[in-house]
Chain A
Amino acid sequence: TQLLEQSPQFLSIQEGENLTVYCNSSSVFSSLQWYRQEPGEGPVLLVTVVTGGEVKKLKRLTFQFGDARKDSSLHITAAQPGDTGLYLCAGARSSSNTGKLIFGQGTTLQVKP
């Protein structure tokens, strides 16, 4: 069973469209992070959210942490081909005191020009 469910797993859209990626769990997380990974590279941290209901913006990317700290979303406005990549959510569980991360399966995004 997957502790963090990401959806959709694959997304192919045209440049200029908006999209939302979801990360859901039945467990509570002390923090949740979003990463972007290029082929052949390691994950690069985009944002960390720690407070229930928190919203963070990074240019055209908007991240939200659910009120109960069990879910999160990533919204991209006016997607560009440069946004293409694998997006991963990862959480540190409240019950853990080690900082190890639980990762979702990832969302592969393709933005066509």
Chain B
Amino acid sequence: NAGVMQNPRHLVRRRGQEARLRCSPVKGHSHVYWYRQLPEEGLKFMVYLQKENIIDESGMPKERFSAEFPKEGPSILRIQQVVRGDSAAYFCASSPVWTVEMNTEAFFGQGTRLTVV
């Protein structure tokens, strides 16, 4: 978690509201990953983005969830019309360019704990 900044750290939303989670990667990193963690479980991959491109969104629910990583500014994970089941910790990780040969390491932020009431 060297330098990955996530905010807010805690977010409470009522059912039906929108949640916006922000992630500023390590300076110079152009790759961002979002993961979700339920209590007492490991992390589940959601989406992988490069600047202005979604590369792999195979882990993201097709409804209500979207992600972006604009040319300028942080990456945003947006959850529309939240439901109780969306309550979880959402982690962002960033890395420089990744290749199989380099096995580049990703650094995680401290996460956003979303609670839907």
Contacts and interface: CB of A to CB of B under 8 A. Distances in A.
Contacts of A106: 40-42
Contacts of B108: 35, 42-45
Given A30-B103, A42-B1, A42-B108, A98 B41 contact: no
Interface residues of A, number: 29
A103 interface: yes
- What bracket does the count of chain B residues touching chain A fall in? 20 to 34
A103 B110 contact: no
Interface of A: 4, 6, 30-31, 33, 35, 40-45, 48, 50, 88, 90, 92, 94, 97-106, 108
Interface of B: 1, 4, 6, 31, 33, 35, 40-45, 48, 55-56, 59, 91, 95, 98-100, 103-111, 113
